[in-house]
Amino acid sequence: MSEFSFVSIKDYQTALLNNQTTCVAVVEYYLSRIEANKHLNAFLEVYSEEALERAKQLDEERLAGKSLGKLHGVVVGLKDVISYKNHKLSAASKILENYTAVYNATAVEKLLADGAIIIGRQNCDEFAMGSSNENSAFGKVLNAADNSRVPGGSSGGSAVAVQAGLCMISLGSDTGGSVRQPADFCGVIGLKPSYGRISRYGLIAYASSFDQIGIFSKTVEDAALVLEVIAGTDGYDSTVSESPVENYLASLTDDKKYKIAYIKQTLEHPSLNEEIKNAIFQFIEQLKSAGHSVEAIDFEYLDYIVPTYYVLTTAEASTNLSRYDGVRFGYQSKSPENDLTEFYKNNRSEAFGKEVKRRIMLGTFVLSALYYDSYFTKAQQVRRIVSDRANEIFAEYDALISPNSPIPAFKVGEKSNDATEMYLADIYTVFANLAGIPGISLPLFDSAFGIPFGIQIMTDKMKESQLLNLSKQMVQIAGKNF
Ligand code: GLN
């Protein structure tokens, strides 16, 4: 199959039911695309034979008239932090290079139960720490729209895989923007649901009170459908919300008018690129013409949220990553050691990358007895302020809009020597993770130099229906055909 085009999963499934294509043909198509785009380094491993075998089975089931799952035949890629039984799981780190997952993440279990085909494991920043995908132990990922630019991170491989048409859907993870920012850089949709909407069971932990599995897709419909399948309670993760999983796809047709806010300080921020700023201001006018109300509000602590995020997430990471000591699994050093401490030291210092080590040390520091109150406790207090402000905002407004990133996709190497600069660029995404609210990145704009960028929408917790409905309306208002 040389050419394959579909607008959404639904269209593809209709084509399957009308015998216009088969799952096998579609998997073959994606495998050939992956092969032709190897230079992007989006996949760390491709499950060619397995995917074809599964496609064959699904074709047979369909032809035999069996009832089909909601994701029947959908070709999905998984960020290398999501556990898929009997497949390698490395978090793009040397420390887990030879580790094989022993169980399925709940999200994966649900994908499979509804008929999805998993095509491979996608590259990312090591342990999901980064914003450019330059921190992978297995090489950087390139932006398919311009190979001299980064795809964003940490779920860079997952974003590029959807961008370049290497699979239909990717699952990534978002702790501070890792789904929304790479989606923004690559011109695809990136949905980070509310904290606790999707089970984290089987997701390698970076900062457990922030982490959430997210979805990359080309259409709002597809994101809604996949969310419907993978969201919901799970006996293996007590932090999952009891709130019922709605029929997100059905909610897209509503043409309700919304009360939208934007934080003045976000659009006035000195770090914000002019082109992004202008595009968003222009779009605000379009939203108003379409009958929505858009008002400016204040959040005076904007400049504190990145430091807060980095204090809390590095603290959580330093504890979460202490399990990688090389004793029961993971990298074991060949260097001689005299005692157990030296054994740990060798394993960890040889196998963790620079950024991961920096964060473990930072996290250990902010949790140390002498500094705990001045950093960790303080940051928790700021987190409370953020979440209180979010509650106030959503008591009055339906949605909050902002950029996803102060800048569009930057050049490979441009920021890799300045960690602080890289961290500060997370200014627009960490708010949602600190408050536990959902956020989506919609690729509504194209920059003058051909690189896409988007807009972010956030709503109150567990209001994904509203988030997706407004997303659909915004896509239409922007005159886009996805
Ligand atoms: N860029 C952020 C960081 O480096 C986001 C990471 C993430 O969401 N996993 O921490």
pLDDT for 7 equals 86
For residue 153, which atom of ligand 1 is closest to its CA?
1
Going along the chain from its start, the domains and CATH numbers come out as: 9-252 (3.90.1300.10)
Cα–Cα nearest to 301, from 391, 387, 414: 387
Q: pLDDT tens-digit profile of 295-333?
A: 999 999 999 999 999 999 999 999 999 999 999 999 999
State yes or no: pLDDT of 276 exceeds 50.
yes
Q: Is ligand 1 within 6 A of the CB of residue 241?
A: no
What are the backbone dihedrals phi and psi of residue 62, each rounded to the nearest 5 degrees, phi first? -65, -45
Rounded (10°) angle between helices 106-113 and 220-230: 110
pLDDT for 2 equals 41
CA distance 276 to 314: 30
pLDDT for 367 equals 97
| Cβ-count burial 425-442 (b if 16+ within 10 Å, e if not) | bbbbbbbbbbbbbbbbbb
Q: CB neighbours of 27 closer than 8 A, spacing ≥ 6?
A: 51, 52, 55, 75, 117, 119
Q: How far is the CA of 103 from the centre of ligand 1 (A)?
A: 25
CA distance 9 to 217: 10
Q: CB neighbours of 162 closer than 8 A, spacing ≥ 6?
A: 168, 169, 170, 186, 188, 216, 217, 218
Cα–Cα nearest to 219, from 480, 461, 463: 480
**CA atoms lying within 13 Å on the CB side of residue 457:** 32
pLDDT for 3 equals 52
pLDDT for 161 equals 98
pLDDT band at 449 (very low <50, low <70, confident <90, very high): confident
Is residue 178 part of the annotated active site? The answer reads yes
Average pLDDT over residues 226-236: 98
For residue 426, which atom of ligand 1 is closest to its CA?
1
State yes or no: pLDDT of 56 exceeds 60.
yes
Q: How far is the CA of 85 from the centre of ligand 1 (A)?
A: 25
Output DSSP code: residue 10: H
State yes or no: pLDDT of 437 exceeds 50.
yes
Average pLDDT over residues 21-45: 98
Is residue 333 part of the annotated active site? The answer reads no
Q: pLDDT tens-digit profile of 147-182?
A: 999 999 999 999 999 999 999 999 999 999 999 999
Is residue 357 part of the annotated active site? The answer reads no
For the whole model, what pTM was predicted? 0.98
